[in-house]
Amino acid sequence: MKKVLFLMTALVAAAFGAEEAVAVVEAAPAVAAASADVANQTLKAYSMIAAGVGLGLAALGGAIGMGNTAAATIAGTARNPGLGGKLMTTMFIALAMIEAQVIYTLVIALIALYANPYLAA
């Protein structure tokens, strides 16, 4: 008896489900457009969060690297004042390399915000 009751329930559910499936297929274009709009808005929001976090981490890492470079240069100049000019030149080159990494992060963040290739047209 349980098998028959289960089979009847399954058939009734399939019949009601088929009616719902037809309604879903008829409304599919409107739902797809709304779904694409929601996906675009979600992607834009995540891009903004990623850009903010990425730039924050890049600035933090760059600041720490620049601080360590300057501290090492000052310590080296204090130990041997005759090498101050060479150490200063090396420090500026190192600072340029560190800053370049932060600028690369800025460029990627701007691309993610304004020229995101994953946004639907």
Mean pLDDT in the chain? Answer: 83
Pick the range with the lowest mean pLDDT from 21-30, 32-41, 70-79, 98-107: 21-30
C-alpha distances (whole Å) from 57 to each of 49, 83, 96 are 12, 33, 18
Q: Which pLDDT tens digit goes with each residue over 52-96? A: 999 999 999 999 999 999 999 999 999 999 999 999 999 999 999
Q: pTM for this structure?
A: 0.64
Asked if 58 contacts 106 with a C-beta cutoff of 8 angstroms, the reply is yes
Q: Spell out the domains of the chain, with CATH numbers in brackets.
A: 2-114 (1.20.20.10)
